[in-house]
Structure 1
Amino acid sequence: MKDQGQQASFAPDAAHIETLARAALSRLPSPFTEHLSNVVLFVEDFADEQILMEMEIDDPFALTGLYSGRPIGDAEQTGDLPPAIHLYRRPLLDEWVETGVSLEALIAHVVVHEVGHHFGLSDEDMHNLEEMVTA
């Protein structure tokens, strides 16, 4: 039985993860944000079986995020879907619990990594961009 002043606690839902991801995206510097308007953000519990098979991942908890689409500068082709960032809620929550990193920092890390794929950034560039977003 809970006290009258106590509120129930639940794991962050997809909407909360999306809010944190959009907040991280909003902190990116303007040269990046100008090229993200057509990138779609999806928050799903897990990657689907086809994606896991294509990436040769056996454990669905091993994938926290994914960029799909052509990086900036690659020629678009007829029939291309818009670029997308996929965040996987359950693996993110699992990593959050295991690492002790704040959920905001973890989401920002994954979002920046996926944005980095959109721009074709190196790991070092992604790290520098993440410092800007989490500072």
Structure 2
Amino acid sequence: MSRTFGPPPSAAEMEAIARAALDRLPSDFARHARDVALMVEEFADAETLAALGLDDPFELTGLFEGVSLPEQSIEDSGRLPNRVRLFRQPILDEWIADGHDLEHLITHVVVHEIGHHFGLSDEDMHALESADD
């Protein structure tokens, strides 16, 4: 469902696009990402923004929460599953401002956050993105 213009998707439609992006991951990665919870919210809550030192809720399009795979141990049993939170309004704002394909943008945010699940830092992912350009 490639969209470059038109009415904005609902949270449920955005979640479907994000889940499709996860389904397209190579099988070795998808197998290790299937237990990650995926949520779409309108904005990050004030507590999350404060914890990240952000004042503007439009600055945060997605967030990984949990313990990355390289950091997990047997002692982590019983904890909540890792999760990726997507923030609908900031994603839509970026979509409008940059004119990117919406599916591509959502995929980019999801893959970036799943990268944290695999233990990649923001710097690691920016270097990979730069090498891909």
Which bin holds the TM-score, normalised by the shorter protein?
0.7 to 0.9
Q: Which amino acid aligns with 1:115?
A: I
In the alignment, structure 2 segments of 5+ residues that lack a partner are: 1-5
RMSD: 2.0
60 and 124 in structure 1: CA distance in 2 versus 1, 3 angstrom threshold: closer
Could you tell me the TM-score, scaled by structure 2's length? 0.84
Q: Does 1:62 align with 2:59?
A: yes
Q: CA deviation at 1:77?
A: 2.6
Q: CA deviation at 1:81?
A: 1.4
Partner of 1:99: 98
Q: Does 1:123 align with 2:122?
A: no
- CA distance in structure 1 between the aligned counterparts of 2:11 and 2:39, rounded to whole angstroms: 9
Of the candidates 21, 24, 47, which is equivalent to residue 50 of structure 1? 47
In the alignment, structure 1 segments of 5+ residues that lack a partner are: 1-8
- CA distance in structure 2 between the aligned counterparts of 1:70 and 1:55, rounded to whole angstroms: 17
Partner of 2:113: 114
Structure with bigger gyration radius: 1
Between Structure 1 and Structure 2, the one with more helix by share is 2
Report percent identity of matched pairs: 49
Q: Which amino acid aligns with 1:109?
A: H
Q: CA deviation at 1:126?
A: 5.2
- CA distance in structure 1 between the aligned counterparts of 2:57 and 2:98, rounded to whole angstroms: 18
Comparing 33-42 and 9-18, the one that deviates more: 9-18
39 and 125 in structure 1: CA distance in 2 versus 1, 3 angstrom threshold: farther
- CA distance in structure 1 between the aligned counterparts of 2:128 and 2:63, rounded to whole angstroms: 15
Could you tell me the TM-score, scaled by structure 1's length? 0.82
Partner of 2:3: none
Q: Which amino acid aligns with 1:103?
A: L
Q: CA deviation at 1:65?
A: 0.1
